[in-house]
Amino acid sequence: MIPRASTPGGSGDPRPVGVTVTYDPGAYAVGRTSTRVTFPSYTARTKRKGSCPTCGRQTVRSRSFESTVNPWNRVDDPSVPSGKRQRTDREVRAYAVAKATAWEPGPDEFEHAKCREARP
C-alpha cells in the first residue's frame, strides 16, 4: 500500500507527494518485487542579493532546501527508550526553513558566468 499524504499547503490532494524511496530487499532473488513508498517533502526557498565582484552589478541567487518526513529522519530524544524519535511534520518544516535561513552564499557565487569567462 502506498501511503498518501496531503500536500504541504494542506490542499488535501490525495495523490502521493514528495520523494520516492524504493525499498527492494533481495532484488537479486528471482520472484521478488519492490515496494514503493512515497513520503511527503517540504521545500523552503530563499534568495540572497549581492554584487558581482568583477563588474559590480547587483546579482540575485536563489536556492531550495528540501526535507522529508520519513522513518529515518530522526532527532535525539532521551524520553524514548531508543534515544531517538521520528521528527514531526512541524519539526521537518522548521528544519528546512532553518537550513534556508542559515544559507550564506560566498562572494564568488554572485559572480556572473560571463564575467567569470571574461576574467584573465
Name the pTM for this structure. Answer: 0.61
Residue spans of the domains in the chain: they are 41-118
* pLDDT value for 58: 92
Q: Smallest Cα–Cα separation from 21: which of 7, 40, 5, 8? A: 40
pLDDT tens per residue across span 24-56:
555 555 555 666 778 888 889 999 999 988 888
- Amino acid letter, residue 105: P
pLDDT tens per residue across span 98-111:
999 999 888 788 88
* pLDDT value for 120: 72
Is residue 32 within 8 Å of 25, Cβ to Cβ? yes
